[in-house]
Structure 1
Amino acid sequence: MNQNRGINQDVTQEMNRSLLLKSLRREGVCSRAHLASLTGLKQATVTNIMKDFLNWGIVKEVGFLNGSKGRRSIGVSINPDGYRVIGVRLARKHYSVGLFDLTGKQIVKERVDFEPEKQPGAEEILNQIVGRMRLLIQQYGKDSVLAAGLAVPGPFIAKKSRIALITGADIWKDIELKAFFEREMDIPVFLEHNANAGAYAHMWDLKEAYHDDILVYIAAGQGIGAGIVMNGRIYEGALGTSGEIGHMTIDRNGKPCACGNRGCLERYASSLELVKTVYGQRAGMEGCNFEDLEQQIRSGDTAYTEHYRRACESLGVGIINIVNVINPDRIIIGDDMARPNPELMEKTVRETVQKGILPDVFDELTLSISTYQGDPILTGAAIVAIDRVFDSPGQFIQN
């Protein structure tokens, strides 16, 4: 920021609005006095801004709270019935579209899976997504749906708003997603890498308890990515491609990858690769997809379970590299690969990681399988939009 320039009063007011909304979101329900204490703002400032929020319908009063010395005050919270955002998740073999309130609660969701060997082209998929977004806006009112978030696989070049590569889905290479949605939608659409979106959802779920931790969320699904949270913020890197662990080399002489490398992690530990390993040429055909494989593992089939265990072991090798480079406090593993046998995955990954890092580092590392209810990547896409709304609430609501 240019230190020789002052800050416009309108900008200051918007910053204060943002601070109050984000504090209120974390607290859930609290009094105006408590918000003033949390944020360091004068109580008169908080009262005036809350008056605007109540008039806009973005917050609501929720009855009396008992304070210190027996004093009672009126509580306020984010209004779940006021405004909405849309969350969209784009994956290799499906997409999901959902509507969320400003607390991050899902209202409706629709998932569309592509038929094996009949995947539509990129433009057709995007037009389908836009059609479903427009329908939600029509159903819930164009004035109440403020923005949308879109979670995409990677490598995603965030600074250029385009996907550089999706292995096994060349249709997305160099598609200008931002330009497409700016042209087709009347609400702003914010793009984010799917692993980062999943990390956002878990960060919201953990709230302030781990605000100062380094959190890594690993989306181990059809591809593999990592969302890295440092001091409450996503670490993106120079171009926004950080966390592309799916293309981390774990075997220099290993399987070739579409990225041009060999031995990439996702060639050994992704759900698509596990299906190919188990079913061979029949992979993706009826009765030979990941859902079928998941059922076999859950039923205790020893051969399928051993393939799964080896994939988890490979994932553990990738996590060793993450730990040695970043030294996170907490790693959470989620998405497709975490579903078939969470206990076996955690045990295998933990044992693999323990062998590959220093004992002192392992002792301080919290490693777990996600227990998030619902799809954290879809919810995280919505949270990306909510965060942008909370950054500039006046701009979104008054406009």
Structure 2
Amino acid sequence: MLKHFLEDVQIKNKLKKQIYFYIQTHGETSKNELKKHFNVPQSTLSRMLDSLEQEQLIFMSGQGTASGGRPPMLYRVSPTAGYYFGVDLSRTHVTTVLLNANFNVLAEATFKLDKTYTPTKTIGQIIEQIEKFKNQYIGNQELIIGMGIGSVGPIDREKGVILSPESFQANGWENVEISSLLFDALKIPTYLSNGVDTAGLAEYHLGSYHNEKLLYMISGYGIRGAKIENGISSNINPGDASAWGHMMIEKNGKLCVCGNRGCLMAYSSFSAMIDEVHQVFPGMNVNDADDLVPKVNSGNGEIRRIVHRAAEYYGHGVANMVNILHPDAVILHGKLIYECDSYFEKVKETIEQSRYQKEKSLMIKRGDLGDRATAVGAGIEVLYRLVKFS
């Protein structure tokens, strides 16, 4: 079974796991491609591919394009060899997905969080959803590889603990041992990471950015970022990806929730924009992003000016990270990014104007996976943890 194969940490299994991982991350792969990449004898490679086929972890999916001679046979991961769960735990909602071994989404469910959603209530509902998916689509517990959680931070990745997150509406979210609580209830190995890391990993993996450095940025009630390279994020313990929103962009500027002045959060978060709208239009019914987006798109001049100014600050902040980290691609995620073209274009334009190496090509785009990215990436990270770090 895939679960036992991936959990096997014996040295003799390491190369076979790397071969499986390569096939998984490249979709379809020929034996010649694998031989070039791993530089192993033909007999060794053939033996391992035969073993993976016999264990029904991979299969021959068809013929590739010939380059003189017989067309190569292509290998692909068996989609029913195992299953992964991914959970997106944000300040406003929880999304759970079930993925097959090819990381196709088989099932998805979301519930919104409000001030009644304590850790106990939230984890209980996650457990209920996982059990429902397991009974409906899997049945055999041994086919479940693991579960990943992409959460707001700060977190302790290694211990699986949510430490002291900002802005949950309910109380009690400090020092929540979420990985062990879910494992105790479900007996599924559970891995915790920052939501921005898992979202970036999903875009990196499914978008085939295998040779590029990827900067993934989320803007919303918080501003978070991650650099993904070789499937590994730059964020480490205590896993506070929200710190990216507290870079200083205005000396002695607006007071931020962190107590400092001039942070990017104080100018570009949803809360900052909504506060400014209320200062200009006292009593206007703009209480969250759902209220803000239609007013920007309808052409309200003053609100659009507020939002575009926030976009400029955000663009400057992202450009700072581009200048420091030198990514090949920038992926932007957030409600305004996806739903307000003028906001996205202003952010993109500001990044281009403010970055240092203008002669270097830089892809700047919206995320392809949208709101699914964090949950899907959390499931994908289970494979990365088992293969890359074993």
Work out whether the TM-score is over 0.5: yes
Q: Shift in Å at residue 232 of structure 1?
A: 4.7
- Which residue of the partner structure matches residue 178 of structure 2? 177
* CA distance, structure 2, for counterparts of residue 124 and residue 286 of structure 1: 30
Which runs of structure 2 are paired with 1:217-256 in the superposition (5 Å)? 217-237=216-236, 239-241=238-240, 244-256=243-255
> What is the TM-score normalised by the length of structure 1?
0.83
Residue by residue over 1:310-334, the C-alpha shift from the partner in whole angstroms, topping out at 9 and shown as x without a partner, is 2211212312331343233332211
Query: Are the counterparts in 2 of residues 197 and 227 from structure 1 also a CA contact under 8 Å?
Result: no
CA deviation after TM superposition for structure 1 residue 295, in Å: 2.6
Whichever residue aligns with residue 364 of structure 1, its letter is K
How far does residue 66 in structure 1 lie from its aligned partner after superposition? 4.9
User: Residue 369 of structure 1 corresponds to which residue in structure 2?
Assistant: 365
Tell me the equivalent position of 1:345: 343
Q: CA deviation at 1:222?
A: 2.7
Contact 1:21–1:390 (8 Å) recurs in 2? no
Cα deviation code 1:242-286 (max 9, x no counterpart): 673122222343444443333332232223443444357x99x99
Specify the alignment match of 1:17 in structure 2: 16
* Residue of structure 2 in register with 1:121 after alignment: 118
Q: Deviations over 1:93-140 (max 9, x none)?
A: 11100011222221111111134xx44112211111122112222222
Q: Which residue in the other structure is 1:382 paired with?
A: 379
Q: Distance in 2 between matches of 1:352 and 1:132?
A: 42
Matched residues in 2 for 1:274 and 1:80: separation?
A: 44
Match of 2:132 in 1: 135
Cα distance in 1 for residues equivalent to 2:56 and 2:322: 44
Measure the CA separation in 2 of the matches of 1:247 and 1:270: 11
Offset at residue 163 of structure 1 (A): 3.0
Residue equivalent to 1:6: none
Amino acid at match of 2:366: S
Q: Secondary structure at the match of 1:362?
A: coil
For structure 2, the 5+ residue unaligned runs are 1-7
**Partner Cα distance (1:72, 1:317) in 2:** 50
1:305 is matched with which residue? 304
What is the alpha-carbon distance in structure 2 between the residues aligned to residue 88 and residue 238 of structure 1?
20
Distance 1:126 1:257, change over 3 A: farther
Q: 1:66 to 1:349 in 2, by over 3 A?
A: closer
Call closer, same or farther: CA 1:216–1:38 in 2, change over 3 Å: same
Counterpart of 1:201?
202
Whole-angstrom CA distance in 2 between matches of 1:318 and 1:159: 29
Corresponding residue of 2:108:
109
Alignment check: 8 A CA contact 2:157 2:191 kept: no
> What is the CA–CA distance in structure 1 between the aligned matches of 2:273 and 2:66, rounded to whole Å?
55
On the 8 A contact 2:64/2:74 being kept in 1, the answer is yes
Which segment drifts farther, 176-185 or 219-228?
Answer: 176-185
Code of the residue aligned with 1:340 in structure 2: it is E
Show CA shifts across 1:326-379 (max 9, x none). Answer: 23333221122312323x234322443455443xx1332515231403421121
Q: Distance in 1 between matches of 2:316 and 2:65?
A: 51
Supply the distance in 1 between the matched residues of 2:150 and 2:350 (Cα, whole angstroms): 30
1:3 maps to what in 2? none
* One-letter identity of the residue aligned with 2:375: L
- Determine if contact 2:331/2:367 at 8 Å carries over to the other structure: no
Distance 2:345 2:286 in 1: 28
Shift of 1:182: 3.1
The 2-side partners of 1:12 and 1:188 are apart by 22
Indicate how the Cα distance of structure 1 residues 388 and 273 shifts in structure 2: closer, same or farther if over 3 A, else same.
same
Deviation at 1:17, TM superposition (A): 1.6
User: Does the 8 A contact of 1:33 with 1:43 survive in 2?
Assistant: no
Write out per-residue CA displacement over residues 57-102 of structure 1, whole angstroms, 9 at most, x where no aligned residue. 3222223445443324532201223321001000101110001122
| Overall identity of the aligned pairs, in % | 22
SS of the aligned residue for 1:120 comes to coil
Matched position secondary structure for 1:150? strand
SS at match of 1:246: helix
Do the aligned residues in 2 keep the contact of 1:297 with 1:340 (CA within 8 Å)?
no
Equivalents in 2 of 1:134, 1:279: separation in Å?
44
Q: Give the CA deviation at 1:238.
A: 5.9
RMSD: 3.0
CA change 1:58–1:191 in 2 (3 A) is same
Given that residues 154 and 238 in structure 2 are in contact (C-alpha distance below 8 angstroms), is that contact kept between their aligned partners in structure 1?
Answer: no
Whole-Å Cα distance in 2 between the matches of residues 366 and 64 of structure 1?
35
Report the count of equivalent residues: 377
Distance 1:288-1:237 versus aligned 2 partners, 3 A rule: closer
Q: Is the 8 A contact 2:248 2:263 kept in 1?
A: yes
Q: Aligned letter for 1:341?
A: C
2:188 is matched with 187
- 2:222–2:242 CA contact under 8 A, matched in 1: no
| 1:199 alignment partner AA | G
Q: Match for 2:180: what amino acid?
A: A
Q: Is the 8 A contact 1:94 1:113 kept in 2?
A: yes
1:306-325 equivalence runs, <5 A = 306-325=305-324
Report the Cα offset of residue 307 of structure 1. 2.4
> Contact 1:153–1:223 at 8 Å: present in 2 too?
no
Larger displacement relative to structure 2 (160-169 or 331-340): 160-169
Alignment CA distance shift 1:365-1:295 (3 Å): same
Distance 2:75 2:122 in 1: 41
Whole-Å separation in 1 of the counterparts to 2:162 and 2:90: 12
Which residue does the alignment assign to 1:265?
Answer: 264
Q: TM-score, normalized by length of structure 2? A: 0.85
Give SS of 1:60's match: strand
